[in-house]
Chain A
Amino acid sequence: MQRVIVMALLLFSLCAVASEEIYEFDDPAREALFKELTLELRCPQCQNQNIADSNAMIARDLRRKVYQLLQQGKSREEVIDYMKARYGDFVSYEPPVTPATIWLWVLPVGFVILAGWVIARSRPTARVDDEDKLAKANAMLENDE
């Protein structure tokens, strides 16, 4: 029984984001914004980790900088712009729409439209013109049974 409970608990366990530093906020809204930003900003050194998740030094420094900027009363956009000015669009998990990235949105939609077109065109047109053949086939089926 105990085993089952433990396994059930493991099934529902979530991964926790562990970082050593503790940043204190007076304003809960700002704290929420800090959490949101550290999840959305990408660590420039480690591939595919946000700065909340990474323990690389650069991620720690960026977290500290986000904290400082928020304590200075900077808004969400100002913090993101600050990071982008230094680390480029790479630092944000939300890519901007540019001629190079527009394909990310256009291609899937285009593909769906193309697929729809192909399916619409190749609808099976199963018609048997020959009444005689149909009758023969029915007769064969009946004979089988």
Chain B
Amino acid sequence: MKKWSLFALPLVLFVSLAVFLYQGLFSDPRSRPSSVVDTPLPPMDLPDLMFPEQRYSVTDFEGKVTLLNVWGVWCVTCAIELPYLTELRQQGVNIVGLYYDQDVDPDFGQKTLAEIQQEVRLKLNQLGNPYQYNIFDTYRDYSLDLGVTGAPETFVIDKTGHIRMHHIGDVNPRVWEHKIGPMYQRLLQE
């Protein structure tokens, strides 16, 4: 009896530890539950990137399902997903950009709005324009309210202006087919 437990106890401990650590090998350290899912969009009062006199609030999201795509021209992965997002727009998906700039330091501004607009126009001409419009997150406060950690990230907003999905990373055919697409279709039915 004693001999048996001396052998079995370490074995059980070892196996459970090994299983636990083995799972860790394949888990993505960056994936973690978002804390903004199933909450309403935070209050918004931000200008359009191209036409700053036009301002947006959360009521602009009501009545339609929207992909809110956080991006910037400086972001490499965003450039990769732009052509695919453009394809999705052609299929009728409603995509709105939340643009933020890296070089605009709110405390020591360096870049002018005209320069940013020029960069964006160039990029969208080159790779395709998936956006109905771009909201300019001037001080990057709004991305902070959304729990954005970096670009690109995509939020699925339902017809009542609630965030229903927070996707970190690029949108590609695989992600669309298995993750975002089904949610988008379901929300259209709601």
Q: Which residues from chain A sit less than 8 Å from chain B, CB to CB?
A: 21, 44-45, 47, 56-58, 61-62, 64-65, 84-88, 90
B147 touches A64 (CB 8 A): no
Contact stretch, chosen from B33-41, B61-69, B117-125, B178-186: B33-41
State whether A44 touches B149 (Cβ < 8 A). yes
Q: Which positions in B face A, CB cutoff 8 Å? A: 29-30, 32-36, 102, 106-107, 140-141, 144-150
Whether the Cβ atoms of A84 and B35 lie closer than 8 Å is yes
Contacts across chains A and B counted by CB atoms under 8 Å: 38
Dominant secondary structure of chain A at its interface with chain B: helix
B33 to chain A: which residues have CB within 8 Å? 88
Q: A21-B107, A44-B149, A86-B147 are in contact. Are A61 and B140 (CB under 8 A)?
A: yes
Q: Are A87 and B35 in contact (CB under 8 A)?
A: yes
A58 CB contacts on chain B under 8 angstroms: 148-150
Question: Would A65 and B35 count as touching, CB distance under 8 A?
Answer: no
- Given contacts A57-B102, A64-B107, list 18 more A-B pairs with CB under 8 A: A44-B147, A47-B30, A56-B150, A57-B140, A57-B150, A62-B144, A65-B141, A65-B144, A84-B35, A85-B35, A86-B144, A86-B145, A86-B146, A86-B147, A87-B149, A88-B34, A88-B35, A88-B147
